[in-house]
A and B are shown apart, each in its own frame.
Chain A
Amino acid sequence: MRVGRTPFALPQVLRDVLAQGSGRLGMTIVCLHLAVAVAAPMIAPQDPAVQDAGAMLQSPSWAHWFGTDRLGRDVFSRTLLGGREAMLIATLATVIAMVWGSALGILAALIGGRTDALVMRFVDAMMSIPWILMVMLFVAALGSSSAALVPVLGFSYGLSVVYLARAAALDFVARDFVVAAQIRGHARWSIALTELLPNVRDSLAVQGAMQWSWILLAVSSLSFLGMGVAPPTPDWGQMIADARGIMQRAPWALIWPMLALSSLVIGMNLAVDAWARATGVDRNRRVPGA
């Protein structure tokens, strides 16, 4: 049972998001990025991996709109394609994080008592290890590959979802309709699914969108450190690391991937803020360490 607000209506929420200036701006940026990411292989003018020894460090021209990098690769094509792998990893990892995080969080709130205390102690302890070291621990053991990053990031970022899902569900576990369901003898998982989930769905949706942009940043940071997306697949973080040594001679190779990544994350933040306002989710309930 969903209490308080009217039944979830996507068109209405979308209208409320777009009614806000920042929401419009954010949604436009994000949709533009998604469209580019999907269409990039078709619209990129050149192969992003092709090196041209005769065209190294060229400034922007008609042939190379954003110039070329230190290996003579086309920066425009690489920027268009550079978000795809990171976005894919972020999407898959977000799904994993949201599923296990909200399941554990809601169940912990519902069961309460010692189980709850035990789960939260574990989550607290795990969150004391900075995410990057936890990821590095696994990367050291498994080697860095996109396939290994998805479960690792899905696990580490799910921890804060447990926190949030539990806090959101706690507002409802003592309500009459939950107690009634317990008295009716419903199983725990069914109460979690039919009574609690509909009520915490808005909070989780906002959290999921934030998780996505955090994980995207994590992937880019790891690529920057050489532990994320591996060449020859182009990636913004990797491009930035690559262009750092030549920023004086070829600033264009550095500026474009920085702009691409920053605009996507800022757009996502604006959109999520507008979305939270439209659905009445309190974004100030921050998760420690997130």
Chain B
Amino acid sequence: MVAVLLERIGLALVTMVIIAVVVFFALDLMPGDACSVTLERGASDSMLAACHARLGLDQPPLWRFITWAGDFLRGDLGISMQRERPIAEIVGWRLRNTLILAGVTSVIGIPLALGLGVLAGLNPDGPLDMAISGVAIFAMTVPEFISGTLMILLFSVVLGWAAGVVTIGYKAPAFELVKASILPAATLIFILAAHILRMVRASVIEVMQSDFVQMARLKGASRRRIIWHHVVPNALLPAISIIGLTMAWLLGGVVIVESVFNFPGLGRLAVDAVADQDLPLVQAIALLFGFIYVLTNLGADLLALTLNPRLRARRR
């Protein structure tokens, strides 16, 4: 058990190092750097050299990587090119806002997805399953920016229930942001739930056909007992790792959904940073997203290990 735990944690650390290397060197290999991209096209060589010296770009690449990564670990994310302010300061608030959005999405979306998945899986091809699965396929196929726009069209323009576009600033108090995240979260839930419930549905169908459920049925256990004691626990275990993997989608979807709703989070900041060609800021955000993904997956992995003893045996 301890060996498996250490192995997972070690793998996560290795992955984080690789992500850092890729995020750093992907831009390093490109023509142009933070200075040449930001300064005017006709910038003189001396201006470029001064900018390079200020940002430390005149140092050898490997040394710059070590400094960059070391600073990152100490919470210093560098200086934004366009905004002339420490990135940590800019990113901090937006990270909080994105976490609020992701939190609202997960707290409502995950239980909803699990419930709907079990409901659909218990009566496959029944009318309820057809309805749930049909909507789920639509949600999974249509891109985020279309479902988001449809949400605005339906709930804001036609029904007038909620404001279509978020207007509050990024330093607004947390409860205001929770209120502002209703429609963006609804969009994310719509898609996230579709992905998770499809997996849960498949695993419920599989468990329903297993020998131990057959056995429970033969010994006369009630349908309710079979569902709650045999099917649900076994079907939900694989869902944990699926939820972890869906986080990758959630983090990417956040970028688009935040832009659709003008939500002041990290994703929209990333879009703005690309528009401004603010390379250090884009790098910092990419690295943050990568780390969040690895850590959520590690969390899901460890949770699955605690809940499912069968996974604890070392493979091979």
Q: How many A-B residue pairs have CB under 8 A?
A: 141
Q: Which B residues from 167 to 225 make CB contacts under 8 A with A?
A: 202
What does the 1/0 interface line of B138-168 toward A look like (CB < 8 Å)?
Answer: 1001111110011011000100000000000
Chain A's interface size range is: 35 or more
Check if B256 sits within 8 Å of A248, measured CB to CB. no
B256 partner residues in chain A, CB cutoff 8 A: 132, 221, 224-225
Find B293's partner among A130, A143, A220, A225 (CB 8 Å cutoff).
Answer: A130
| A226, B275: Cβ atoms closer than 8 Å | yes
**Is the CB of A254 closer than 8 A to any CB of chain B?**
yes
For the complex, is A99 an interface residue (Cβ under 8 Å from B)? no
Asked if B128 lies at the interface with its beta carbon under 8 angstroms from chain A, I say no
Whether A227 sits at the interface, judged by CB under 8 Å, is: yes
Among B26, B146, B245, B282, which residue has its beta carbon within 8 angstroms of that of A289? Answer: B245
> B17-25, B41-49, B59-67, B227-235: which lies at the A interface?
B17-25
Report Cα–Cα, A167/B273, bound state, in Å: 37
The 8 Å CB contact of A121, one of B14, B31, B249, B251, is: B14
**Closest beta carbon of chain A to B65's beta carbon, Å:** 15
Q: How many residues of B contact A (CB 8 A)?
A: 53
Q: A55 contacts the other chain (Cβ, under 8 Å)? A: no
The answer to whether B79 has its CB under 8 Å from any CB of chain A is no
Report the bound CA distance from A267 to B258 in whole Å.
Answer: 28
Q: How far is the CB of A244 from chain B (nearest CB, A)?
A: 6
From residue 89 to 135 of chain A, which have CB atoms closer than 8 A to chain B? 121-122, 124-134
Query: B114 near A: Cβ within 8 Å?
Result: no
**Across the interface, which residues of B come within 8 angstroms of A258, CB to CB?**
146, 149-150
Q: Does B252 contact A (CB under 8 A)?
A: yes
B99 proximal to A (CB < 8 A): no
Min CB distance B266 to A, Å, is: 10
Interface-forming stretch among B1-9, B69-77, B283-291, B301-309? B283-291
Is B136's CB within 8 Å of the partner chain A?
no
Query: Which B residues lie within 8 Å of A140 (CB)?
Result: 27, 37, 273-274, 277-279, 282
* Further contacts, 16 of them, CB under 8 A, given A127-B248, A248-B157: A125-B19, A128-B297, A130-B249, A130-B255, A133-B282, A133-B285, A134-B286, A136-B255, A137-B286, A221-B145, A224-B145, A225-B259, A240-B145, A244-B152, A266-B138, A289-B249
Pick 7 A–B contacts, CB within 8 A, sort by A: A125-B14, A130-B249, A132-B256, A133-B286, A224-B259, A247-B152, A289-B245
Would you list the 6 A-B pairs with minimal beta carbon distance, nearest first?
A130-B252, A125-B18, A141-B30, A289-B248, A133-B286, A140-B282
